[in-house]
Structure 1
Amino acid sequence: MTNVGFIGLGIMGGPMAGHLAAAGHVVAGYDLSTEAVDKLRSVGGRVAGSVADTVAGADVVITMLPNHPQVEQVALGAGGVLEVAKPDTLLIDMSTIRPETSVELAKVGAERGVRVLDAPVSGGEAGAKQAALSIMVGGEGGDFAAAKPLFDSLGTTVAHVGPHGAGQVVKAANQLVVGGTYGLVGEAIVLLEASGVDAATGLDVLAGGLAGSRILELKRESMVARRFEPGFRIDLHHKDMGIALAAARQAEVSLPLTGLVAQLVAAARAMGNGSLDHSALLTVTEQLSGR
């Protein structure tokens, strides 16, 4: 049993904190949403009144926040995690942010005696609810080993991928593949329908062959039906594509398809679809095709 402070109880963080409480850990959670903290209370978690209250007495602090400004404020700001946490606390940032922010958190944490891991996740809302996330972890191997039992309560694929920031690089690679796959599935639907072929039947065939993917498995029916309830919003994928492009520039590599996918995601957002699921990339292809 571990005392866990969990900051950020949204679509992803809420179910994750609930799984940790169900596994027997003592979980104190903090979020600005009353509904979010009420859900944690209903599954046995303690509602904290501030970041400092969340961190007090915690052996492990987990953050699951929208972007690097929120992570920096919560971790590095006045009264933040790295100011309040007791020595040897383990800070696990599971947000998807810039690799350089993860490296900075680890540097400041080391100066203050706090261990830090970056551990972004993939799997969306469904993965969070089912404790079936893929978790990619950057940091020291010993800290990863210490956190592994917690990760095993949250995901089915858990890997230590390298030093501080490496988890974020792997997540950037994940997001460019996911975005590209959604874009191509959308194009396949437009082609099938414009050619008079039943798209649902066509995608069933694709899902059973070499073109098969997790996205086809989970999202082909909802995409054909144009149901875009958010499991992961276009707005967040837009942010993630920016991280991928920045990482490519930092590594001095050319990722031309990533650049195109980033523009498609930006177009979906400009069309007013930022709050929809990222499978709504289909709408961009439809508009480009006049359909």
Structure 2
Amino acid sequence: MANIGFIGLGIMGKPMASHLIRGGHQLFLHSRSGVPESLIEQGGRACASPKEVAQHADIIILMLPDTSDVEKVLFAHNGVAEGLGKLTAKKIIIDMSSISPIETKKIAARINQLGCDYADAPVSGGDVGAQNATLTIMVGASENVFEQIEPILALMGQTITLVGDNGAGQICKIANQIVVALTIEAVGEALVFASKAGANPIKIQQALMGGFASSRVLEVHGNRMIKHSFDPGFRIELQQKDLAIALSCASDLGVSLPNTATTQSLYNACIAQGGAKWDNSALVRILEKLANHQMVDSDPC
């Protein structure tokens, strides 16, 4: 049993923390929105600050929205750094958020200077993957740190890959988000087209799932699009943030990502329509508006 800190208990973090408790670990919990009572009932301990979490835990996991949130939790007043104190053994910080790979390398260096190890381990799989412990986890860390944390990550995810050193996990997550976002846009275009042409989008989705176009995005987000069920999930504002990171890094590298930029503009339009908190599959709403046509769930069942 390990003493694990978990900071950030939203749609993703809450079920992830629950899996760790059920795996036999003692969890020290903190979230700016408060620690869910269900985690306390499972045996988790609420902490008043990130500093308090770090004082009790040997491994501290972060699951936060953005780069600035990670920096604040780690280095602001009452942050994790203040709770590390004089160490008798190295603690490990695992950031499972999706943030800038450039800033990740800087953050890792600061943590290393405090005598601790660092791993960036962003995830893919959304709320469904978090609930079912089937997340894909992309890790940037030394091999030694990876060996220590892999059994813990395995309680939350199904596919766990050491991609490279610090920052490599975040680079992999950016690549993941490019594929996911552009596929969501493609699925939305296909279903809107099919529906406006007079076909049943449910039957179209079923047929496509049996062919080369099959994907988890078509399966999961296709269902949400057809049913117009846009409760998050993974919020549009977070997908927009991830694509902004991708475009910023691409600019620094001199790489062109034209379709990523186009898809980002559609997410921007969703936010302008008040959809920041919608599930990212709600991108289809903008495509429907452009087509002047809304899909209808016409399945007789």
Equivalent position SS for 1:189: helix
Q: Which runs of 4+ in 1 moved over 6 A?
A: none
Distance 2:103 2:29 in 1: 23
Given residue 93 of structure 1, which amino acid in structure 2 is its aligned partner?
A: D
1:1-291 equivalences under 5 Å are 1-34=1-34, 36-85=35-84, 86=87, 87-291=89-293
Give CA-to-partner distance per residue, 1:10-49, whole Å, 9 cap, x none: 1111111111010001101001223x43121022111112
Distance 2:290 2:56 in 1: 55
Q: How many residues align?
A: 290
Query: Does the Cα contact within 8 Å between 2:52 and 2:83 map onto a contact in 1?
Result: no
Distance 2:33 2:53 in 1: 15
Query: Does the Cα contact within 8 Å between 1:223 and 1:282 map onto a contact in 2?
Result: yes
Taking only aligned residues, the RMSD between alpha carbons, in angstroms, comes to 1.2
Distance 1:5 1:101 in 2: 22
Query: Does the Cα contact within 8 Å between 2:233 and 2:279 map onto a contact in 1?
Result: yes
- Structure 1 unpaired stretches of 5+: none
- Structure 2 unpaired stretches of 5+: 294-301
- The structural deviation recorded for 1:251 is 2.4
Give CA-to-partner distance per residue, 1:142-173, whole Å, 9 cap, x none: 10111000000000010010111111111111
Given residue 105 of structure 1, which amino acid in structure 2 is its aligned partner?
A: I
Distance 2:117 2:169 in 1: 15
- The structural deviation recorded for 1:255 is 1.1
Counterpart residue number, 2:296: none
Distance 2:81 2:248 in 1: 26
- The structural deviation recorded for 1:219 is 2.6
TM-score (norm 1): 0.97
Residues 146-155 or 85-94, more deviating? 85-94
